[in-house]
Structures are given as structure tokens and as C-alpha cells.
Amino acid sequence: MSPVKTQTLGFPRIGPNRELKKAIEGYWSGNTTRTDLLLTAHKLRAENWALQKAAGIELIPSNDFSLYDQVLDHTVLLGCAPERYLDKSRRPNLDEYFAMARGGKLPNGTPVQALEMTKWWDTNYHYLVPQLKEDQDFQLASTKPFDEFQEAKSLGILTKPVLIGPVTFLSLAKPAGRPFDTLALLERLVPVYVTLLQELRRLGAEWVQMDEPILATEISAEKRRAIAETYETLSKAAPGLSILVASYFGRYGDNLKTALELPAQGFHLDLFRAGDELDAVLAGLPKQKTLSLGVVEGRNIWKNDFARSLARIEKAKASVGEARLILSSASSLMHVPVSLEREDALSSGEGAGGALSQEGGAAAAVGLKNWLSFAEEKLGEIQTLARLSGLEKPEEDPAYVANRNAIAERRNHEGVKVPAVRKRMAAIRAEDLERTSPFARRAVAQQGRLGLPAYPVTTIGSFPQTEEVRRARALHKKGQISDAEYRKFLEEETLKGLRLQEDLGIDLLVHGEFERNDMVEFFGEKLEGFAFTAHGWVQSYGSRCVKPPVIFGDVFRAAPMTLDWTVFSSRASKSPVKGMLTGPVTILKWSFVRDDQPLSDTANQIALALRDEVKDLEDAGIAAIQIDEPALREALPLHESEWKETLDWEVKAFKLAAAGVRDETQIHTHMCYCDFGEVMASIAAMDADVISLEASRSGMELLESFREYAYPNAVGPGLWDIHSPRVPDAEEMTALLRRARAVIDPARLWVNPDCGLKTRRWEEVLPSLENMVRAAKTLREEG
């Protein structure tokens, strides 16, 4: 065993075959029992702990598992679940827990709306936002951290429980009612954490991980003082229990001195987001404190560069010594897939996108699998780095040599850089980023072409991906139905969706996207420079998992991607049908992106490919084209002072994709689950003719941002939370629409759901769409 300790900050909870998703959805549907679900959860936890132990990881996390969301788990744990979800007890049962997550009906039949959902920092994971009252009290209302610690202990594994730190928890929360500073509740909350730590120590815990990523943001001096005072108290709570304070996803910046001086036994540094702070950390780390060095990336899937990592490890060892050093994942590994083991197609270049594309379209098969590392492989990287760091000549070790060769192969492969793409990038002009006319003039031309009524109704793009749709796709993929049979099926589904929209009175139709698997994966399969995994699933929220593509090389479009189905649908309907595209920032952000060039370069490559697609759609007579950018806010660094540079290239990429159309072609975009008010100027700079936004879960809170900024173009604030099975009635939607009308000029107000409908059932979609159309008609009648 290496003298240097090893750990992870968390591990994927979904299972290698999405066992958790299947168990949860089976419980929701009534096909399995609570006992079945809990047994699956127990099995997954046990497998995760055993896997990490077998890899040689010493500080193995517990309480990183969740049936839905770790922030929701802490809301329950700390006894601050909103009363509307609870009976007289402060301890929600399983159905009340899921009601907070999804909405629907409580066990007593009361209908409830889900908690608001937003992005976890700058990731594509979504958490449920705690709602706290000004007089909120807290109490220990769950035994989850204790139960899972003892569960692991019974298996012979002494774990390191993981908790969201109190200052970060309060910073993630929002007021339930009139605004107030949630940090004012810290004095009430800290005693519950004291009790938590004391009980974990009593049970035998030696280390506890307190996640405080709020330290990677720009915070006030007051909040820094609050963090210092909080840990002064917590450090005395449970003698013998070592506290590791972990921040990740960004630099400490002005918070570094505070973080280093916290009275905790361990300090964590994410070398991938804050590597430039290593020297300052080594200079300022107190002599008694342990340094957790995040040497293995927790959010991307490229193989670790051992030479680079070992240089940093050696620098740290020279400063703090082996005994005070822990080699760690930079963040939780929940953001990467579980295992590369079954990804054989990646190594042979088989399957869609599995080969590197060279200029001229020739494919050079490459062992892409040899360039990658998923969660299981990252465990091996951590342990191998620990072992190599103890060798006198690590560069002679076979593992080091193999790693060096893989890094060199990827860096030098001829298919990664495509000269024609780079030539086109160099030719981008300022005028390529601007529409011909301002919005007011374009709006007149578009209305003359589309002839839409007041409060025009549309949807965001997708319709339910039913069991029949998924089955047909799977049969076609396996070769069990022919191309012609699959085409016929998709045509029938598309036509049914079009007829349904026409019958409901929807004004601007969508084709339903029945041919698409995922809004990013679909486009990646059509673009060069992408590769795809067979089992590379990661959790987006709850039971929702996504399989991000891998961007390994220069991106370009070899052929039209959406033209076929958009034209088919347009010809089949008397009403206009939108073209549906995913935007360059979202494709980039929701993929595992190459790390060998600036993100802005990759975004512009994708934008140029989309620009070609937009031009083809316009030339085919499509009057409205939607380019979704739900990841725009998500891609921003955690430090607000660093936003401008990122926002500038994000806006440029969107405009590069969208701005080549004529005035009469209407460009839509869609965004969801972020704080829009923080980036309103950049949203306006994108100059989309219509933007649709998620708004219903927050009760149209975003309207205040539009009031303050005076957004100039058309807006569709969502009236229906599509992440919940709940069907809102027409009166509720009408009330939301009236609230929007009071802020947004009715001539610029659209009517739409919060997001696409692929995850919902038709039994929920039909009545909700009927109610949405009814709400629009009511406002038309009101004038």
C-alpha cells in the first residue's frame, strides 16, 4: 500500500445498467414495491463500496447515494421540508419525498407542485431548491447518513460520510415567501450539524467530508466570516472526528485564505478547475492540515496524464510530506459514466461516430477507448498515481509507459484536426454574426408570413417517447425491422402528432422528434468529430439519465441532419412547423468535450455546422427555426468576474448559427432551469426573435428580470412544469399568463410549456395542452 492515502469525493449512484432508474420508475408505476426499490438501492451502495475498496481506495464515501437528489436528501435530513408536503410528522415518507421531487398527489390525495429545480453549479445535474421560511427551525429528521454508514460498516468498510456543508446548503436555498438572506438562519442550522457530527463519531466515523463549493464562488466578507465561525463550532463538536472541507468546480480566489485557515483537518483542491492555486495552497496550508489533491478529473472522461499529475504530486509531497497528502478525484465521480468495460465498439471504430473522420470523409479507425477513463477506471488512476508517486523512477513503470503512449497517440492523431474546418473558422467575419434588420422590422415580416393570432401557442419540440417508440427504435437498431418498416412507423407517429396539434388549435407546430433519441446525441450522430458510448449513462436529475456524446476532434456537418423530417412534417400540415435544432453551447456543454483546445473554438465549429443546417431549412421553406440553448447559463464559471469572456463566445456561437437567415424567417430559442436574471443582457444580445423559458415551478419569478431589463424581443414563459406528472388546469395557466401579460407586451407574449414533452405520458400531455390552448383563448377574448 502506498504511504499516500487515496479517496473519492463521491461515486455514480445509478448503477452500470441504470438499475436505480429502473427501480425508481418501477415503484412510481406501481409495478414494484417499496421493498423492491430499497433492496435495489442497498445492492447498488454495497457494490459501489466494494468496487472502491477492491481498487485500493482508502477513504470511501457514504451518504453520496440518493434515491433522487442529494440536496433534497439534506432538506429532509435537516427537518426543513415545506409543510405542504408533510403530515403532522416532520419526517417525510417515501411518497412524500417523491412528491417534493416530482409533484403530483400526496398519499392523502392532496395535489402538490414539485419543488423548484435548477442546475448544480455549472453541471448538467439538477437539484431541488430548498425553500426556507424566515423563522425556519431545523431538526434532525432523518437517519440516512447514519444508516448508510452502518450499512457499509456491516460489510467491513469504514466509510467517510459526505454532507453538504451548512453555508453551502443555505446558499442553495431560497426564501419561501418574502425575500430575506437565508444565511441569517445559520445560527439555527449549525446545532443540527453538531448533532450530526457527534452521532457519526459515536458510530465510529473517523473522517467526514463537508462539501462547501460555495467557497469556489465570489462571496462577501460577511459570508467568509460566517464560514469561519461555523467551522470553529463544528471543529469542536466531535473530538476524534476529522473534517475534510471540500470545494470544487472553481478557484477559491479571495476565499483561499479563509478556506486554508478553517479549523478542519483536511483541505481539498480541485486541480482541474483551480490548478493555478496549487503554489498558493502549498505556501499557506497550516502545518497540521492534510491536503486532498484532486488529481483525477471528476467531470470529463479523458485519460489522466500521469506525467503532469505526478509533477504536481511531487511538488505537493516536497511541501507537505506523504503523511499529510491524500490523492483524490477532483469532484464526485457522479458526473461520469460507471465503466468502460463494455465499450468495445469504441476501440474498433464500429458504430455511429466510432471512427475518427479525416478531411474528405475517409474514416481512420482508432482505439478511442484507450483515450478514455470512466468512474471505475478513475479509481485505478488514483491508486496507480499513488503507487507511482512512491517509485524512484516512475517513468520506467509499465503503467506509466502505457499512459504516456495513449496521451501521445491522442495528441498526434491525424484525424483530430481537420484543415478545412480550421480554414473556415479563420474566415468568420463580424457581419456573419448579425441579422440584416432589427427585431421590430423582422417581427413585421415574420407576422406577414406566419399570420399568427395574439398569444400564439407552440410547444418546445418533443412529444412523448412512448414504449412503442422506444421499442421500434430498439428493434431497428438490432436489425429486427427494416429501414422501410421503421420509416413507416415514424411517419405514422409524426402524422398523429401533427393532427393532434391541429385539432387542439396549436398555432406553430412541431414534428414531435420521434426519430430522435436525445437532443444532443441525435446531432452528435449526424456530425463528424463525435463518438458514442453504448453504456455511458450519467444522471441528469432523479431517474432521468443521459448518454453524452464524446467530442474528440474537429466538428463539421457532412450532410443535412433535420431537413428530411422537418420538410415531411411541413408538407403534411396546413399550419407552419418549426425546425428544431440544439444550439452550439448546449451540444458542447452536454457532451464530454475535448480538452485540447479552447471551448470557444469547439463551440464555433458546431455553430458553423448548425449554420449550414439553418440555411438548408430556410431554403426548403421552413418559416420558423428553433435553436435551443438551455445550457447557456450552465456553462459559466463559478466566479462572476469571469463570466464576460464566456458569455461573449457563447453569444457569438449562437449568432454564428442563427444570423444567416432572412428577416421573414423567425428564430426561436429555448432555455430552462437557471437564473435568467443574471444573464439577461447576453440573452438579449443573442437576438433570437422568440425565447421560451421555464417559469412555472417558480410561479413566474423570472418575470421580474424581464421587468427590470425591458427585454426587447418576444417571450414565451412556460405555463406547465413538464418534469412533474401533475396536470395543471386551465385556470392555473390563465392566472400565470395574466401575470406574464402584466410585465410583457401582449404583442410579444407567446404561450408554451416549460420544456419538451418526451418524458411525459400522453395521458398527461393531452389535457395539459388542451388547458394551455384554453388559457390562450381566454386572454384573446379579454383583449
Q: Which residues are catalytic?
A: 723
Only one residue has cell 477513504, namely: 59
Amino acid at 447: Q
Report H helices in 321-397: 344-348, 375-388
CA 587 to chain centroid, in Å, comes to 12
User: Which residues lie below 8 Å from residue 317, measured CB to CB, with a gap of 6+?
Assistant: 4, 325, 389
Strand partners, 462: 512
State the DSSP H helix or E strand holding residue 479, giving kind and residue range, or none if neither. none
Q: Is 714 strand, coil or helix?
A: strand
Contact 375, 513 (CB under 8 A): no
Contact 3, 390 (CB under 8 A): yes
Report d(CA 220, CA 253) in Å as an integer: 12
Report H helices in 19-175: 19-29, 34-54, 70-77, 94-102, 144-154, 166-172
Report d(CA 78, CA 232) in Å as an integer: 20
Contact 669, 628 (CB under 8 A): yes
- 646 φ/ψ angles, rounded to the nearest 5 degrees: -70, -45
Contact 458, 510 (CB under 8 A): yes
CA 280 to chain centroid, in Å, comes to 31
For 101, half-sphere exposure in the C-beta direction (CA atoms, 13 angstrom radius) is 25
- 509 φ/ψ angles, rounded to the nearest 5 degrees: -85, 165
Contact 123, 132 (CB under 8 A): no
Report d(CA 268, CA 264) in Å as an integer: 11
The CA angle 221-227-229, to the nearest 5 degrees, is: 100
Report d(CA 120, CA 128) in Å as an integer: 9
- 695 φ/ψ angles, rounded to the nearest 5 degrees: -150, -20
For 420, other C-beta atoms within 10 Å of its C-beta total 11
State the DSSP H helix or E strand holding residue 782, giving kind and residue range, or none if neither. helix 762-782
